[in-house]
Amino acid sequence: MYRSLPVLSMLLALIMSCSQSAGSYVLEGMNELRDEQKELITLLNSGPHNREERFALMNRIATNLATENRKEALILFLTNEVELRPEDPYNAYWLLMVAHTYLEDNAPEMAGYYFKRILEKCPDLQLHGQSIHLVSLQNLIRITDSPGLLVRYYSDMITRFSDEVDLGYTYFMLARSYEKLGEWELAIQTYTQFLGYGRFGIVIPGIHDSYEYAKRLVDYNSSSKDWTFETLDELVQSIKKAINTYDHRSLERYRAKVSFFAMSWKQDSNDVNAEADFRMRDFMGGNRIRYDEELDASSNPNEAYLRTRGWNQYVSVWYLYFRKVNFPADPDIHGRWEWAGIYYGEKL
């Protein structure tokens, strides 16, 4: 139904303009504001008016319709104005009112139609010091989940309104949209641009520690990735062999070179204090290190834990944490396994 409304509105507008005096339908259903509305319509139809005078009259009539919750009449009144005066510089403003009316009526598809029409057909206009085109882009972003459209909208915001938007946030969301499209080269390039803004504390709904998320992808992309193993079993057996022979050099090679952590179970892996800034040989010399034959029961198809003990006198038990690599940007690496970190102490 909503998809046919733009055409229906235009047809109704033409019928109204031919079958009754201009604007008379805007009196229907008016209550306390009826007398004022009637006077405004009379003034509007008495013309001619310059653009500013016509805008003031139109705006007051539209405001009265909105106050009386006459949504259908408001939409018809404004869309009729736009169709009859396609060159009016205030058309972006009228269509913005129409779009917001549809949003209030829980019709996002129709609202989106008019936001797009503003961008494609109307010169930009400043409303209370803010660009109507920018407002339209912001609303389109809120009501769409299409990554392809989001790429277009965020790119437009960066190109046209770099002085009016949060570029750090916008670059992150553009990169995220490229990522959802599978455009990994563009996603990595855009995440790199985002990192240049140093937005360490930026909050993106649904992504824990967004800055570290972007940094990990960029760092992983530029790394050698030569520490990964084809299977979990191959990785675990290689680590067990290195422990048996006290081969700290091999253990260093097996450690992930991006985001490897060493922390207690209570810490957050994104805590700067969780970074593993040590050498394996410092914890192996003179110690009798052992490991469980089987992986911990909490292991699953994407993550695994191996309990080891005997590392030092302060924290003897270490759980070695393994995970499946999630990096679709490189199909040769995606799905392999890496030794990603260490948890100190017995599991909580």
- Reported as a single tens digit per residue, the pLDDT across 150-195 is 999 999 999 999 999 999 999 999 999 999 999 999 999 999 999 9
pLDDT tens, residue by residue, 6-48: 444 544 444 444 334 445 778 887 778 888 989 999 898 887 8
CA 322 – CA 94 distance, rounded (Å)? 58
Structure tokens at 144: 């769409």
Task: Give me the pLDDT at residue 315, please.
Answer: 87
Rounded to an integer, the average pLDDT of 119-135 is: 95
At 62, list the tokens: 């539209």
Residue 272 has pLDDT above 90, yes or no: no
- Listed residue (229, 225, 235) closest to 258, CA to CA: 225
Residue for token digits 């009259």? 57
**Position of tokens 């530029």?**
222
- Please list, in sequence order, all residues whose beta carbon lies within 8 angstroms of the beta carbon of residue 335, skipping any fewer than 6 positions away: 324, 325
The DSSP secondary-structure symbol of 280 reads G
The predicted pLDDT at position 27 comes to: 87
**pTM of this structure:** 0.83
CATH 1.25.40 is the classification of domain 144-222? yes
Sorting pLDDT into bands at 50, 70 and 90, what band is 270? low
Q: What is the pLDDT of residue 239?
A: 97
The predicted pLDDT at position 275 comes to: 64
Q: Residue 128, Cα to own-chain centre: how many angstroms?
A: 26
CB atoms within 10 A of CB 20: 10
Query: To which residue do tokens 């259903």 refer?
Result: 29
Q: How do the domains of the chain map onto residue ranges?
A: 1-143, 144-222, 232-344
Q: Which band of pLDDT confidence, cut at 50, 70 and 90, is reported for residue 110?
A: very high
Q: Are 26 and 73 in contact (CB under 8 A)?
A: yes
Mean pLDDT, residues 65-77: 93
pLDDT at residue 258 tops 50: yes
Kindly indicate whether the domain formed by 232-344 is annotated with CATH number 2.120.10: no
Q: E-strand spans in 110-223?
A: 126-127, 130-131
Please give the pLDDT value at position 23: 57
Is the domain 1-143 a CATH 1.25.40 member? yes
What is the average pLDDT score of the chain?
89
Asked if the model's pLDDT at residue 268 lies above 90, the reply is: no
The model's pLDDT over 296-338, given as tens digits with 9 standing for 90+, comes to 999 999 999 999 999 876 789 999 999 999 999 999 999 999 9
3-class secondary structure, 318: strand
Mapped onto helix, strand or coil, the DSSP state of residue 305 is strand
Q: Quote the pLDDT of residue 46.
A: 87
> Do 1-143 and 232-344 agree at the fold level?
no
Pairing of strands 290-291, 303-309: antiparallel
For residue range 90-105, list pLDDT tens digits in order. Answer: 999 999 999 999 999 9
Interior angle at CA 235, CA 233 and CA 237, nearest 5: 65
